[in-house]
Amino acid sequence: MDSRSFRKKLLKNGFSKWSFVVLAALTILFLIFGLIKNMTGKSDAQRLKNHKGDIGTYAYLDVVAFDEWVCTYKDETYYVLFDSSGEAYLSVVSDGVMKKMERKAAEVEDYTHYFDENYRMYGLVKSVDYTVFGYVEDVYGLSDDQYVQYFGKCYFNTTENPNTNSAWMWWTFATFSGIIAAVFCIIWLGTEIPFRKETSDYSKEEFAEAARMLDETDKKQNIIFGENYLISRGSGILVRYSDIVWMHLVDSYYNGVYMGRGVRVHTRKRNSLKIYPKKKDSQQELTDIMNTVSEKNPEVLVGYSKENKKIYDSLTKK
């Protein structure tokens, strides 16, 4: 049995690189769904012209000019947009989009901004609130009939895009799955790299012996003490007792949060491996690990101290 086969067997019932692969694939899939939804939404949009648009439909407008602020109602700011045929449309435009439009405007004349080329905008066609209707009439001095003739019976809400919202939903899923995939990848690499380093000189016979230990032990047993090897299913570790030079207890923290206590073993290959009990902070399991390793390798340094670290460095210095 080789290293790869044993590693696969060791992690059969635990974390493996496939957890990362599946999540990475989901991330890519969510990104694709988001892009498709965003592109499909724009291709399905209807052109808004002659003030005609079904209420609730998704539409686009090719803007050639726009007037400055008309009124604000319920935290929405209304502007007047003009298309190439000179038709005027009452529209809600977000502050961010308006700043982009102001930067792209080539000319400003009497509070009206003009573009050198059409500026396409997407949004929902909505019915005009009576209060807004009255505000606009007061600003321009229009009668009801004149308002309808000038602006039509609807307004264009460029801040609402159900398709983009759906796309962002998929992109949000992609973000979360991507973060989890990255965490899993770090976890996998955190065990894979030390494992390969520690077992780089192991023979096929040694891997076969370790594999038999796995087969002969209850799969629920996290730490396995063999004749020559220590195996940790949870940490993905295989190490010879004779290669352990120094060991001590260690408390683990993640972003300041206490995660548990384990045993850190330092090997002749200057590898640092953490072994955690199945039951968090189990003093019995921690004691068993320390006692068994000390019994199998009487020369091992036990406990953390500057002196032990100095001895370890001198023994493993290349």
**Residue 208 falls inside a structural domain:** yes
**Residue 149 falls inside a structural domain:** yes
**Residue 240 falls inside a structural domain:** yes
**CATH number of 283's domain:** 2.30.29
What's the pLDDT at 13?
Answer: 47
Instruction: For residues 67 and 142, state if they share a domain.
Output: yes
Instruction: For residues 150 and 230, state if they share a domain.
Output: no
**CATH number of 67's domain:** 2.40.50
CA distance 17 to 204: 23
Question: Where is the domain boundary, 159, 177, 211?
Answer: 159
**Residue 54 falls inside a structural domain:** yes
Beta strand pairing status for 46-47 and 301-302? Answer: unpaired
Give residue 241's domain range: 201-316
Long-range CB pairs of 164-169 (<8 Å, 24+ gap) are 164/38, 164/41, 164/122, 166/37, 166/41, 167/34, 167/35, 167/37, 167/38, 167/41, 168/34, 169/34
In total, how many domains does the chain have? 2
Whole-model pTM: value is: 0.52
**Residue 6 falls inside a structural domain:** no
**Residue 58 falls inside a structural domain:** yes
pLDDT in tens, the chain (318 residues): 777 788 777 765 445 556 667 767 777 877 776 666 655 555 556 777 766 667 878 888 888 999 878 888 888 899 999 988 888 888 998 888 888 888 888 888 878 888 888 888 888 888 888 898 888 889 889 998 898 888 888 888 886 555 555 566 666 777 877 777 777 777 677 777 888 888 888 889 988 888 888 888 888 888 899 899 999 887 788 999 999 999 999 988 767 778 788 899 999 999 988 888 878 768 888 999 999 999 999 999 999 999 999 999 999 886
**Residue 142 falls inside a structural domain:** yes
Question: Where is the domain boundary, 103, 125, 159?
Answer: 159
- Asked if 152 and 51 touch (Cβ cutoff 8 Å), the reply is yes
**Residue 28 falls inside a structural domain:** no
Instruction: For residues 119 and 206, state if they share a domain.
Output: no
Question: Where is the domain boundary, 159, 189, 222?
Answer: 159
| 107: enclosing H helix or E strand | strand 107-109
